[in-house]
Amino acid sequence: MKATAAEASLGVFDSGVGGLTVVQAITELLPNERVIYLGDTARVPYGNKSPDTVKRFARQDAAFLLGRGVKAIVVACNTATAFALPSLVADISVPVIGVLAPGVETALARTKSGRIGLIGTAGTIGSEAYQKAIRALRPDAHLVARATPLLVPLVEEDWLQHAVTRQVLEEYVRPMLSEGIDTLVLACTHYPLLKPLLAEIAGPDVALVDSATTCAAHLQRCLDMAGLAAPPATSGGIEIFLTDRPAHFESMARRFLKSPIHRIEVVSLPE
């Protein structure tokens, strides 16, 4: 019997392991979906690379997933979303969704004062993509944006509750809190793992918006609208492709992803 488009897998890519926080959120919300994940671990990080380089990498990542017959693509990397999403959406025939719009939507729904903090990689913050998207919907928003490049290595080191991480977060976030933000957007796929510590530092009056859960909810709406949601009888699963196999990949991946992985393979990307 011929497989329908709805039965095809979802494609998800990121610069490395961080996008697995998005996969985790997707599998929790949509357990029938099969996910093919590409982590460009040979070229991570994207967060400090130029826009043209990130765009080229993102095109190659998407081409790999399309080659595997995916029905939709999730750009589970804030830096790639910030630089490359519009060109991917324009060039690719299947639905492509990024992490920016869902995060912005949720932040605007949560904020009361319109004073919104934003943390992410140097690339994401420097691109101004979030700032423009927020101002387009709420021109009077008061934005306090800060690149926080030390956080990705701390998360990868599993220092999620470490005193050094607390100190770094305080250094980054305290000045934002002094500006009276009531919402903080975690515009990087690694940052959901820092939520417990961030919640302690920011306190109960600041809403923490992470792109993983909001992106999964956005994907669900998008699949439903396109008639692409997996049929209820389909059993989900996760296949992981990497461009390099980092030491301790499994233990690092388990930090980001609790669901079982059915396959891990190292691949080369099409030029």
Centroid of chain to Cα 21: 7
CB of 14 to ligand DGL, least distance (A): 5
Residue 177 neighbours by CB under 8 Å, 6+ apart: 117, 201, 202, 203, 206
CB of 138 to ligand DGL, least distance (A): 23
E strands within the chain? 10-14, 34-39, 72-75, 96-98, 115-120, 142-147, 183-187, 207-210, 237-242, 263-266
CB distance 212 to 106 below 8 Å: no
Q: Is 97 helix (H, G, I), strand (E, B) or coil?
A: strand
Q: 45 preceded by cis ω (within 30°)?
A: yes
* β-strands 237-242, 263-266 pairing: parallel
C-alpha angle with apex 257: 263 to 13, nearest 5 degrees? Answer: 70
CB distance 209 to 183 below 8 Å: yes
CB of 124 to ligand DGL, least distance (A): 5
Q: Which is nearer to ligand DGL, 120 or 237 (CB)?
A: 120
CB of 81 to ligand DGL, least distance (A): 8
Task: Kindly tell me the number of DSSP H helices and DSSP E strands found in the chain.
Answer: 11, 10
Q: Which is nearer to ligand DGL, 8 or 243 (CB)?
A: 243
Q: Does the annotation count 222 as an active-site position?
A: no
d(CA 28, CA 36): 15
Q: Which is nearer to ligand DGL, 8 or 79 (CB)?
A: 79
- Selected catalytic residue, list 22, 77, 101, 119: 77
Residues that bind ligand DGL (CB under 6 A): 14-16, 18, 44-47, 77-79, 121, 124, 152, 188-190
CB of 234 to ligand DGL, least distance (A): 28
Beta partners for residue 37, in sequence order: 12, 240
Q: Which is nearer to ligand DGL, 42 or 222 (CB)?
A: 42
Q: Is 137 helix (H, G, I), strand (E, B) or coil?
A: helix
CB of 75 to ligand DGL, least distance (A): 10
- Selected catalytic residue, list 74, 185, 188, 229: 188
Residue in the shown chain whose Cβ atom is closest to ligand DGL: 47
Q: Which is nearer to ligand DGL, 213 or 230 (CB)?
A: 213
Q: Which is nearer to ligand DGL, 31 or 153 (CB)?
A: 153
**Which amino acids are annotated catalytic?**
77, 188
